[in-house]
Amino acid sequence: MTAQDVINLAVSAELKQLSVKEDTDAVLGFINLGVLELYKRFPLEEAEAIVWLTDGKATYKLDGTDPDVDISTDKELLLISRVYSEDSEIIELNDEDNLVGVYTPAYNTIEVPFIIQDEYLSVIYRVTPKFLTSTSDTVPIPPQLLEALLNYVGYRGHGSVSGELKAENQSHYLRFENSCNRAIMEGLIQAEKIPSKKFKQRGFV
């Protein structure tokens, strides 16, 4: 499914009555924002970073600049999802009552208490989708989320128009929320992946 496919569907339905449908760049921007929102809500792509624990060091950056972190440079971090010990045990995130948990003082940073004796930690993170720059680019979502994406495009499109279309803007956002919730309820997609050791078995991505 290309961006042009999504544009064609949106122009014939969600954006049919709006002049913005003629502005391809604007509609492509709506699609990008919609894809990003879906990646925030669902674990559509995950990757792994290996944090090599160093004596006297508590804070590690997952942005490709920290020499003690092995992380792919072509998979931008969206948010940290889970952390595993070197024995594949889940380590709690941001639990102030857990002395051996880890913390995220920033979206791309983890803070590790010195009490953890592991040699390394496995950090699973959601990947930021690459923004589409051409109508021929592939939209990186599964087909079951197409309805939700179109509703989001409708929400953004109507939100760009002032006046009497404000109620329609709200209606499209509610449809978007309902589409996301229905995808979860009907088992079409999981809100969060079941913990897996696949990253540990294959090494970091």
186-197 per-position pLDDT tens digit:
988 866 544 444
At residue 55 the predicted structure's pLDDT band, cuts being 50, 70 and 90, is: very high
Instruction: Supply the pTM of this predicted model.
Output: 0.86
pLDDT per residue as tens digits for the range 123-153: 999 999 999 999 999 999 999 999 999 999 9
Extended strands (E) in the chain: 46-52, 59-61, 69-70, 77-84, 90-91, 103-106, 109-111, 120-127
Instruction: Report the range of poorest mean pLDDT among 50-54, 109-113, 169-173, 179-183.
Output: 169-173
pLDDT tens track for 85-116: 999 999 999 988 888 889 999 999 999 988 88
**Average pLDDT over the chain, rounded to an integer:** 89
Which is more confidently placed, 165 or 88?
88
Angle (CA) 49-54-58 rounded to 5° is: 80
Q: Are 135 and 7 in contact (CB under 8 A)?
A: yes
Q: 147 and 6 in contact (C-beta within 8 Å)?
A: no
Cβ-count burial 138-159 (b if 16+ within 10 Å, e if not):
ebebeeebbbbbbbbbbbbbbb
